[in-house]
Amino acid sequence: MTDAGVAARTRMPIADQATWAPADDRPDPVALLEEQATTRSADLIPIRYGRMAASPFAFYRGAALPMAADLAAGPGSGVAVQLCGDAHLSNFGLFASPERTLLFDVNDFDETLTGPFEWDVKRLAASIVVAGRSRGFDRHVNRSAAQRAIQTYREKMNAFGQMRATDVFYSVVDTADIESFVDDRARPMIESTIKSAAHHDALHELSKLTTVKDGVRTIVDRPPVVVHRPEVTLKLLDAFIARYRSTLQEDRRVLLDRYELVDGAMKVVGVGSVGLGAYIALFDRGTGDDPLFLQIKEAQASVLERFLGPSHAPNQGARVVAGQRQLQAQSDVFLGYVGGVEGRDWYIRQLQDEKASAVVDAMTTDDLAAWGGLCGWALARGHARSGEPATIAGYLGSDGAFDDAVSKFAESYADQTERDYGAFMAAIKSHRIEAVTGG
C-alpha cells in the first residue's frame, strides 16, 4: 500500500464508505430539482419531470444534484480523479473509435469535474441496485451485481497501479475484452448492443430524422422532442460552427470543411439534460448518401461545482470536452466546444457514430451483473488515466472490504432514492410541479 493510500484510509476508513444516513438538515430533493429548472427552458421542464417519473431508476438518472449534495455532506477519501460526475448504468456504452473499433466506455460528461474517486463509484453502485429493484430483482441479485461492479473496479485499478503510465493511457475495453469478460448468459444482450452500435451512424439516422422537400433535405419535426424553433437559424448555427471549428485538430477541420450546413433544429435528449439547449445540425455533401449530424449541447456548471469548487476551464463547454478527453480511451473526432454563444457555453460532437447502450428496462439478472462489471472496468480505466492509480489501489486494498462497504452504501442509498422518488411523485400529484409523459 502506498503512503498516499495509507493517508487516505486514515482520512476515511474503508468502513466509513458503507455509511449513509440523511442529515436532519438534508435539502429537499424536489426543491433542488426546482432550483435547477430556473436555468433551463421552462417549456421543457414538464418533459424532464415526465421522463423522471417513469421509475425510481429514471428519477435517479435525473437526480445527480441531490446525490452530489448527499455525498458532499459526508467524509471523503481526498483521492482526486477526473470524475464523470454522473456515473450511472445508462451513461456507459459502446462507440466507435476513430479507427472504427468498437470500445466500451463512459459516454456522458455533462457533470465532469475533479473530485474524490469514490463519488463516481458510489453513484455507479447505487444505480445498479436502483435499476435492479426497478426490474423487480431480489435483494441478493442486486447486491451481488453491485459487488461485482465494485470488485471489477478494484481489481482493474490494482492492475493499473502496477502498469507504466503510458500503458494505462493506451488501454481500452474493446469487443474482444467484452466477449471474454461476460459469461454465456449475458452474451445475447452484449451481442445485441454491439449489433445496435454498428447500425447507429449518420447514414442510418438520415432516413429517421430527415425528409426531402422540393429537392432540399430537411429535419422532420416531431414535437415536442424535435422541433424547428425560430431561434435555431442557419445564421446562429453558422456562428456556432465558425467558433467551434478552432477547437478541432487541423485534420478534423479539413474534414468538417467538406460538408455544408443545410438545416438545424432543437432535439431534446436524455433525462437529466432535458431543458438545456440542445440542437442538431445537418450537414451534407450534396450526394444524398454522405450526411453528418452534429449535436450542439449546452454546458452549464457541473452539479459538483457548488461542493468541490469551480472548474479551471475557460468555459463550461471546454470543461466537458477536457473531462471527456481525460476519461475516454478515444473521443469523437468532431468533439469540440464554443463559449458565449447566446450568452451560454456549448460542446459539440457527432449525434450518432456507432453508439449504443444497453436497455436497462430489458435487462435480465445476468445482464445487470455483466453490464455493471463492464462499467466498473471502464470507470477504473478512466480514473487511472486521470488520477494516480497506485494511490487509489493502495486505498482500495486487495481484499473485498471496499466492495462490501460500497455495496452496503448502495443498498441504503437505493432506499433513499425510493423515498425521494415518492416525494417527487407526490409533488406531481399535488401539482407542485408539472410532468408531461410521452415526451
DSSP 231-278: T--HHHHHHHHHHHGGGS-HHHHHHHTTSEEEEEEEE--SSTTBTB-E
CB 339, CB 319: distance < 8 Å: no
Domain shared by 37 and 58, yes or no = yes
Helix then strand count (H, E) for the chain reads: 18, 12
Structural domain includes residue 134: yes
Q: Spell out the per-residue pLDDT of the chain, length 439, in tens.
A: 577 877 888 888 999 999 999 999 999 999 999 999 999 999 999 999 999 999 999 999 999 999 999 999 988 899 999 999 999 999 999 988 888 888 999 999 999 999 999 999 999 999 999 999 999 999 999 999 999 999 999 999 999 999 999 999 999 999 889 988 998 898 998 888 888 776 666 677 788 889 988 888 899 999 888 999 988 899 889 988 999 999 999 999 999 999 999 999 999 888 888 989 999 999 998 777 888 999 999 999 999 999 999 999 999 999 999 999 999 999 999 999 999 888 899 999 998 766 778 889 999 999 999 999 999 999 999 999 999 999 999 999 999 999 999 999 999 999 999 999 999 999 999 999 999 987 6
Domain shared by 217 and 327, yes or no = yes
How many domains does the chain divide into?
A: 2
- Say what the pLDDT of residue 202 is: 67
Domain shared by 307 and 160, yes or no = no
Structural domain includes residue 439: no
Domain end among 320, 350, 380: 350
Of 104, 60, 287, which Cα lies nearest the Cα of 193? 104
Per the document, the length of the chain is 439
Structural domain includes residue 407: yes
pTM above 0.85, yes or no: yes
Compute the C-alpha angle 16/21/25, nearest 5°: 125
Domain shared by 105 and 155, yes or no = yes
Q: To which H or E segment does residue 105 belong?
A: strand 102-106
Domain shared by 256 and 343, yes or no = yes
Sole residue written with cell 447507429: 200
Q: What does DSSP assign to residue 89? A: G
Structural domain includes residue 249: yes
CB 236, CB 263: distance < 8 Å: no
Domain end among 350, 378, 411: 350
Domain shared by 110 and 16, yes or no = yes
Domain end among 350, 377, 405: 350
| Sign of the four-CA dihedral 124, 86, 312, 247 | positive
Domain shared by 154 and 221, yes or no = no
Domain that holds residue 406: 3-197+367-429
User: What b/e string do you get for 145-173 counting C-beta neighbours within 10 Å, with b at 16 or more?
Assistant: bbbbbbbbbbbbbbbbbeeeeeebeebbb
CB 94, CB 193: distance < 8 Å: yes
* Cα–Cα distance, 296 to 217 (Å, whole number): 19
Domain shared by 154 and 271, yes or no = no
- Say what the pLDDT of residue 11 is: 87
Structural domain includes residue 166: yes
Structural domain includes residue 362: no
- Say what the pLDDT of residue 240 is: 85
Domain shared by 132 and 8, yes or no = yes
Domain shared by 263 and 160, yes or no = no
Structural domain includes residue 360: no
Helix or strand or coil: residue 23?
coil
Beta strands in 310-381 (DSSP E): 336-341, 344-350
Domain shared by 45 and 185, yes or no = yes
Domain shared by 136 and 14, yes or no = yes
